[in-house]
Structure 1
Amino acid sequence: MSGLVKAKKYDWKDSNLALFGSDTEKQVKKESAEQEEKWHSAGQEPGLQIWRIESFQVEDWPKEEYGRFYNGDSYIILNTYQKDDSEELLYDVHFWIGKNSSQDEYGTAAYKTVELDTYLDDKPVQHREVMGHESEMFRSYFKTIQTMEGGAKSGFRHVEPEQYQPRLLRFNGQRKTVTIREVPLLKSKLNSGDVYILDMGKQIYQWNGTDCNKDERFKAMQYVQELESERGGASTEVLDEDSVSKSHEFYEALGDGDPEEDESDEETEEEEKVLMRYTEGDGSEVKRGDITSEDLVSNDVFLIDTGKEVFVWVGADASPNEKKNGFSYAHSYLKGKEKSYPPVTIVKEGQTNAALEMALSA
């Protein structure tokens, strides 16, 4: 049998959160973490560092590629910062899962995230990010987030414009949250509320939907300018949906099929907040609605579901077993939900996290 094999559809409920909680998984020691050479330069000064998982190994991601992610890969992102006038270094570490990333890849990213946390003396706040459902904090690190087809196993590499395979890129969002995502080359993927770029190598089209906003148009224009600079020039044309002919080459380059359903296109609905309490693995619902810091006590672990994000708050006096199972509690909780892919953040008592503080005070 020949031809391309279609990638397995990502099962959001088959989340790497399930890999946490076993005795073997959680026995990550400082000595073991120090054997990972990539961590030796991690978190030494304020700034962003990104690594991609390749064949179970942690590899540096080029700085010029920061903000660009391949949907067949998993990544680790470390943000090092200082608060106010303090010289103390603080950290947020995220693992990002592409929708076509394999279980081996995102399992390694999850394991290595815990290892990096250990290497940095348990100071980082840990986060899980799923492609298309990233937290506001994660999005704030980049001017734009661009997700592309492919990955390490697909032989991703730079190609010349003459060899370029056409790509259709969707620009969606407002202000600092405009994301760029590669979508199938289909007319049915065009949405009047967004901007699209058809990148054909030497020929580039920017298609402005009738109801798109100025931020999407501006980001697309910037992207076109970057492409022109990278390639030493290219023919570009801006098309407005309500004035371009359906016989234009732009439409001719797109197919007529129906797109597959993509859960990352779904809007997250506002839901009532839920507070769960975990004592030695047993979880019970405490309350719904308004949740404050006074609802949290130091001898247990609590899960706060805001409807958009999930936070696991680990009390300082929780048992060792409770402390090591925060991600596992989140996985078990989300497994019973229709949508199991929101951002997940683990916050230890005493750590600061603006999003959690807002959730507890809102």
Structure 2
Amino acid sequence: EGGGKIEVWRINGSAKTPVPGDDIGKFYSGDCYIVLYTYHCNDRKEDYYLCWWIGKDSVEEDQNMAAKLASTMCNSLKARPVLGRVYQGKEPPQFVAIFQPMLVLKGGLSSGYKSYIADKGLNDETYTADSVALIRLSGTSVHNNKAVQVDAVATSLNSNECFLLQSGSSVFSWHGNQSTYEQQQLAAKVAEFLKPGVTVKHAKEGTESSTFWFALGGKQSYTSKKIASEVARDPHLFAYSFNKGKFEIEEIYNFSQDDLLTEDVLLLDTHAEVFVWVGQSSDPKEKQSSFEVGQKYIEMAASLEGLSPHVPLYKVMEGNEPCFFTTFFSWDPAKAIAHGNSFQKKVMLLFGVGHASENQQRFNGTNQGGATQRASALAALNSAFSSSSPAKSSSAPRSAGKSPGSQRAAAIAALSSALSAEKKQPPEGGSPLRLSRTSSVDAIAPGNEVSTAEIEDSKEVPERKEIETVEPAETDGEDVGPKPEPEQDETGNDSSQTTFSYERLKAKSENPVTGIDLKRREAYLSDEEFESVLEMTKEAFYKLPKWKQDIHKKKVDLF
């Protein structure tokens, strides 16, 4: 947000060279850079935004070295920084805002770039102060205004933008008839940044001098079309797994901050950026490979959903989430600063800090079975508390005559059982339990407090069967996917279910069906129409991963 400290290094061979203060903001397309922005946010001492920028003409050796050195810097700062990879032309708003102005020039200064063009016999187009250079100015705010050097020909002009033309000692500021005042102001700022103290000659579209056109190689026609901006899309949160070496993802729908469990590594795709969120208690190997996981996701989404392969990629550590990440959640800072595993955090919210501290030793050092039992208890708590809240709806039927109080008591009984189980080791050779991720763990509403005495008083243990969502894990490495409801057959069909026409089941139907599960529109198609619309049988469809099912449903407006 401004006021921070900016440090920039250019990659040169196996080292990084500091960029002088007066040149910070200048980037060459043949080079790679590391950017560290240190700033203060709220009451925290210091926050860090660390990323490496990859020029479109840079060599692979420089790109790899930039990634390596940036990761080393991140580790030296105890993994606190948000670590990002940014490609030229795909700079996110928070990156652009650091530099006022940001200027991308042709060519490169690194030894790797110079060697590359020499080996290939290419002309060195690197910008110099006395060369002919045309610079396009775009954007209307500090978060998107950039200056980029383009080919110095008249066809590069656009009536919607402003341009700077450098020719020897002269600098022209060309204003397109449809350019904005902000772009014209940016042109003046960039001219001063490029050549301090220079006298700028203004040329409004249609009033250009012959000297102006001569520098561009003669007057030619150019476009007046606006460059289309990318359409904003809804963000999506994913869990991932490797099934027999194959990368698979599962979407977490209607996600919230409570889905960010400290034991997990999750992917947030906003279409403009991809974040890999790393929980503090996640597996050390997953922490180390989190960037590779993000890259695997981008490659997959690029081929299936049209995501740009050069989309910015960030690694965000739990507890150091930046505002441009938390904006996609209804963020509660109190949850973010709570310490411990997911179970301990929930206990802290439920009983207070003192109770969580009292039980800290009991929770530490437990095996995997204990961890999943804690997850089971969290799911039980979520089911009971959200079922008594009108703001949330539950897909599970509620037992007749059961009050919210008794459901909460039953949930606490489940908690008590899980606490007791922490002290026991699973039988040798036994399979641990694995939690099906069917819902997020919601925060306990202020009106739902319970006392520790309720744990002892609660005897409604049988009701736990209604609220627990635990299923045995596969022992042969097979991925455990969501199980169909009991009344459905293996194709996802309900034998007693009414069918409807495709025209009525479509999301944009003019005569939509009511009273159905809108997340399973396809299930209400007849077998014949299902095969006609989705071009496969129901059995084949429901064997696909959930994310792939969703892609097929989106194509035929059943999502």
Q: What TM-score, normalized by structure 1, do the two folds share?
A: 0.76
User: Which residue of structure 2 aligns with residue 221 of structure 1?
Assistant: 188
Deviation at 1:81, TM superposition (A): 2.1
Q: Within 5 Å, give how 1:1-362 maps onto structure 2.
A: 47-86=5-44, 88-152=45-109, 153-154=113-114, 164-176=130-142, 177-226=144-193, 229-230=196-197, 233=198, 236-241=200-205, 243-244=206-207, 248-255=210-217, 267-279=229-241, 282-287=247-252, 290-336=254-300, 337=302, 338=306, 339-361=308-330
The one-letter amino acid paired with 1:244 is T
Q: 1:189 to 1:291 in 2, by over 3 A?
A: farther
- Report Cα offsets for 1:171-202 as digits up to 9, x if no partner: 00012132110001122221111100110121
- Report Cα offsets for 1:308-357 as digits up to 9, x if no partner: 11111112222112111111111111113041112211111111210111
Q: Aligned partners of 2:235, 2:289: CA distance in 1, in Å?
A: 22
Q: 1:331 to 1:192 in 2, by over 3 A?
A: same
Q: Is the 8 A contact 1:74 1:101 kept in 2?
A: yes
Q: Is the 8 A contact 1:125 1:347 kept in 2?
A: yes
The one-letter amino acid paired with 1:237 is K
Q: 1:226 to 1:137 in 2, by over 3 A?
A: closer
- Report Cα offsets for 1:40-76 as digits up to 9, x if no partner: xxxxxx6111111001211111111111100111111
Q: 1:156 to 1:119 in 2, by over 3 A?
A: farther
- Report Cα offsets for 1:234-283 as digits up to 9, x if no partner: 5x421111x325x733233325899xxxxxx7733322322221246743
Name the Cα RMSD after superposition. 2.7
Q: 1:50 to 1:125 in 2, by over 3 A?
A: same
Q: What TM-score, normalized by structure 2, do the two folds share?
A: 0.50
Q: Is the 8 A contact 2:213 2:219 kept in 1?
A: no
Deviation at 1:227, TM superposition (A): 5.1
Q: Is the 8 A contact 1:273 1:291 kept in 2?
A: no
Structure number with greater CO (CA < 8 Å, separation at least 6) is 1
Task: Flag the structure with larger Rg.
Answer: 2
The one-letter amino acid paired with 1:53 is I
Deviation at 1:151, TM superposition (A): 1.2
Any idea what SS the aligned residue of 1:84 has? Answer: coil
Q: Aligned partners of 2:218, 2:309: CA distance in 1, in Å?
A: 32
Any idea what SS the aligned residue of 1:328 has? Answer: helix
Task: Tell me the matched-pair count.
Answer: 302
Q: Aligned partners of 2:170, 2:135: CA distance in 1, in Å?
A: 14
Any idea what SS the aligned residue of 1:304 has? Answer: strand
Deviation at 1:125, TM superposition (A): 1.4
Q: Is the 8 A contact 1:278 1:284 kept in 2?
A: yes
Q: Is the 8 A contact 2:96 2:145 kept in 1?
A: no
Q: Aligned partners of 1:113, 1:178: CA distance in 2, in Å?
A: 26
The structure in which a higher percent of residues are helix is 2
Q: 1:237 to 1:222 in 2, by over 3 A?
A: same
The one-letter amino acid paired with 1:357 is T
The structure in which a higher percent of residues are strand is 1
Q: 1:91 to 1:187 in 2, by over 3 A?
A: same
Deviation at 1:135, TM superposition (A): 1.6
Q: Aligned partners of 2:29, 2:249: CA distance in 1, in Å?
A: 36
Q: Aligned partners of 1:183, 1:83: CA distance in 2, in Å?
A: 37
Q: Aligned partners of 1:94, 1:309: CA distance in 2, in Å?
A: 13
Deviation at 1:129, TM superposition (A): 1.1
Q: Aligned partners of 2:284, 2:54: CA distance in 1, in Å?
A: 28
Deviation at 1:358, TM superposition (A): 0.4
Structure 2 gap ranges (5+)? 115-123, 221-226, 332-559
Any idea what SS the aligned residue of 1:101 has? Answer: coil
User: Which residue of structure 2 aligns with residue 29 of structure 1?
Assistant: none
